Amino acid sequence: MSLTNASPEDAARAAKTSSRRLATLSTNARNHALDAIHDALLSAKDAILAANAKDLALAKQSAANGDLSPAILKRLDLGRKGKFEDMLQGIRDVRSLEDPVGRIDLRTELDSGLILHRQTCPIGVLLIIFEARPEVIANIASLAIKSANAAILKGGKESLESFKAISSVISSALAPTDVPNDSIQLVTTRDAVEPLLAMSQYVDLVIPRGSNQLVRYCQEKAHMPVLGHADGLCNMYIHSDADAQMAVSVVVDSKCDYPAACNALEALLVHEDQLETLLPAVATALIVQGVTLRCDPPSLAALTRHLPKDLSLLVQPATDADFSTEFLDLILAIKTIAATPSDPPACIDAAIEHINTHGSHHTDAILTASKAVADHFSNGIDSACKFWNCSTRFCDGMRFGFGTEVGISTNKVHARGPVGLEGLMIHEYRLAGNGQGVAMYGSGGGKRYTHRRLPLTAEAVQQNGHVA
């Protein structure tokens, strides 16, 4: 990894050249580089956390002045709740995954001795732009190297000291390995971003990780595909048959485990039959955690009746805008779904319509005892991730077993949901023959295509040049 002062074009060109070198490296060579990065970061933990402390001190002052969001401040702290250790474990997890490069998933005989196969290959050069997440450098570096992609990273100014410290450690770790140092580059100047977004001849995919404003900016300026999500407005619907104890546990975890995350719960939909029974218990558990509840009229009336005055201080009327807001804080909007007698209940469709209209297609969940109801809900919801009877916070590359992730995508093509190694691969077709030409086939020649599908035997799908 290099902390580059090169021009945007020189940096992008160097990344493109390095990406072709990466694509030729063996599994062992790339895994060795990940081992080196892990060990170097572990040895430099104190120095990295000291650099992060400088960023935190400045960020806390900015937050106190109202210039920085509390959500960004939480994301910045690399020493919070074992975040540094999680970063290191993410590298180990990626290293332990099967090599994604060169996997064959289709073999077809076009004719005797003319064999077509489709296999995975790297995308090429990734441009990752992120805000206030210092661990992203290690996450992206490990995913990029394992998937044989080059990466150019641009971090937010809030994490500059952390970025510089981590990039210096990774650069030194890569020096004795076969991975080119220019395959992972960190740019520090904001004015480099717009030129890089125009360089489709070098950069193949943009991955923004940050605010709605950042993602929209990249989508407007990029000359290449953009992968990501603008908002993490996650919803949960509590159906009439939901278990009360489960609801309390799952809702509290979804909202309170890490409110600043994009997979935290922002809106709770409650079946009308649960307003007087289940909702007060859920609301009490949330309020104890410091959550302010912004309620529509039916849920507000129910909680006003059932909660003691000291708890009802955190219960407020909701506005229409609250159901389309990503709070990233201890605030939760609550909406009532009217009871209906139809089968399947029309209330499920009402919940689906609300979520599809007001949500961000990120992660949405349902609490119900019925698989049929859960399936109907999941089939109707237009979201990357759909959960049944569990927390929205499970939407995460590490928790999905992807090792770590470059981000969460709400795109409809290429990759969707948490994007790990598989999302950084595309397909290519390779055809092996022994002198055949197109003129030999059809009306002009005597040969005929067989188009026979061949089995995917272990020997046939052995990764080309990437076996350990």
Percentage above 70 pLDDT, the chain: 96
Q: In what order do the strands lie in the sheet with 452-453?
A: 425-432, 114-122, 104-111, 452-453
Tokens 């060109």: give the residue. 13
Residue 57 is which amino acid? A
Predicted confidence band at 84 (pLDDT cuts at 50, 70, 90)?
Answer: very high
Task: Answer yes or no: is pLDDT of 461 > 60.
Answer: no
Residues contacting 60, CB < 8 A, separation 6+? 73
Q: What is the pLDDT of residues 34-59, one digit of tens each?
A: 999 999 999 999 999 999 999 999 98
Q: Average pLDDT, stretch 454-462?
A: 72
Rounded CA-CA distance 183/165 in Å is 18
Q: What is the pLDDT of residues 366-395, one digit of tens each?
A: 999 999 999 999 999 999 999 999 999 999
Averaged confidence pLDDT in the chain: 91
Total residues found in the chain within this entry: 468
Of the candidate ranges 11-20, 24-33, 452-461, the one whose mean pLDDT is the lowest: 452-461
The runs of H, that is alpha helices, within 112-233 are: 136-146, 160-174, 193-197, 212-221
Closest to 193 measured CA to CA, from 167, 220, 165, 232 = 220
Q: Which domains does the chain have, with CATH numbers?
A: 2-226 (3.40.605.10), 234-394 (3.40.309.10)
Task: Answer yes or no: is pLDDT of 238 > 60.
Answer: yes
Quickly list DSSP for 72-112: HHHHH-TTGGGHHHHHHHHHHHHHHSPP-TT-EEEEEEEET
Q: What pLDDT is attached to residue 282?
A: 98
Rounded CA-CA distance 72/131 in Å is 8
Q: What is the pTM of this model?
A: 0.83
Cβ–Cβ < 8 Å for 25, 177 = no
Residue 54 has φ and ψ, to the nearest 5°, of: -65, -45
Q: What is the pLDDT of residues 314-353, one digit of tens each?
A: 999 999 999 999 999 999 999 999 998 766 678 999 999 9
Task: Answer yes or no: is pLDDT of 18 > 80.
Answer: yes
Residues contacting 368, CB < 8 A, separation 6+? 239, 241, 242, 374, 377, 388, 389
Cβ–Cβ < 8 Å for 375, 175 = no
Q: What pLDDT is attached to residue 465?
A: 41
**Helix crossing, 45-64 with 160-174: angle to 10°?**
160
Q: Average pLDDT, stretch 435-463?
A: 83
Q: What pLDDT is attached to residue 462?
A: 54
